[in-house]
């Protein structure tokens, strides 16, 4: 039996980065069909395949007794009038909860369960959000000027189901209207 051992990882509260770890990057091209305005998406992609967000996968053993953790850094920007966001996911082990803690920026955490119940929590530095079991979740940066940075933790064997969201989307979207974030129904959402 392998001996369990503690370890430490430094994360900057200012920028979310770890000096000795590498992030996984989600580029604009990785977000095809995730945004409402396909024309705006294609126009942006023709100009540059920019990084929308980054996050850490630290290689924690995928066991229910372990906790996966890291930071997510979502950059400011919009596709059309829809804010930059993460893809969003359910956990493969659906009854998994997750905790997010905002260290910088301003954003929303959009959550939805398979029956269609939707919740949204606003996050600013110092705010922590508990995502209940059975909820898909997506982080959205509603700032036009600074990154939205969060620390997260969940059980390490939970896995990520991105396919359901890639196929169906979320029932709600967060868009900018009259200079403010608004929550609207997603006209592309499919049952």
- Would residue 121 count as lying in a domain? yes
3 state DSSP class of 181 = strand
**CA dist 111 → 10, 108, 139, 140 (Å):** 29, 10, 9, 11
Q: How confident is the model at residue 141 (pLDDT cuts 50, 70, 90)?
A: very high
**Tokens encoding 108:** 């929303």
Segments forming the whole domain that contains residue 46: 24-185
- Would residue 135 count as lying in a domain? yes
Mean pLDDT (the chain, rounded):
93
pLDDT value, residue 1: 37
- Using one digit for the tens of pLDDT, what is the confidence trace for 106-122? 999 999 999 999 999 99
pLDDT value, residue 191: 57
Instruction: Evaluate if residue 158 carries a pLDDT over 90.
Output: yes
- Would residue 133 count as lying in a domain? yes
With tokens 């919740």, the residue in question is 119
- Using one digit for the tens of pLDDT, what is the confidence trace for 13-38? 889 999 989 999 999 999 999 999 99
Which pTM was predicted?
Answer: 0.93
3 state DSSP class of 25 = strand
* Secondary structure percentages of the chain, helix, strand, coil, to 5: 10, 40, 50
**Tokens encoding 31:** 């977000």
**Tokens encoding 151:** 């620390």
- The domain that holds 131 is classified in CATH as 2.60.120.10
CA distance 135 to 141: 19
- Would residue 17 count as lying in a domain? no
- Would residue 167 count as lying in a domain? yes
pLDDT value, residue 3: 59
- Would residue 177 count as lying in a domain? yes
Give the count of domains, the chain.
1
pLDDT value, residue 188: 85
- Would residue 10 count as lying in a domain? no
């Amino acid at each position: 039996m392998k001996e369990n051992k503690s370890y430490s990882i430094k994360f900057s509260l200012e920028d979310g980065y770890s000096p000795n770890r590498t992030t996984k990057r989600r580029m604009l091209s990785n977000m095809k069909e995730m945004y409402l305005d396909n024309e705006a998406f294609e126009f942006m992609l023709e100009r540059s395949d920019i990084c929308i967000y980054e996050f850490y996968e630290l290689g924690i053993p995928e066991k229910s007794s372990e906790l996966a953790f890291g930071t997510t850094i979502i950059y400011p920007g919009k596709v059309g009038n829809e804010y930059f966001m993460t893809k969003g996911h359910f956990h493969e082990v659906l009854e998994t909860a997750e905790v997010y803690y905002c260290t910088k920026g301003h954003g929303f955490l959009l959550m939805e369960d398979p029956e269609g119940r939707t919740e949204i929590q606003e996050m600013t530095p110092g705010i922590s959000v508990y995502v209940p079991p059975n909820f898909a979740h997506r982080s959205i940066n509603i700032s036009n000027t600074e990154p939205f940075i969060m620390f997260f933790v969940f059980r390490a064997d939970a896995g990520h189901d991105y396919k359901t969201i890639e196929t169906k989307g979320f029932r709600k979207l967060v868009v900018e209207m009259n200079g403010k974030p608004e929550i609207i129904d997603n006209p592309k959402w499919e049952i």
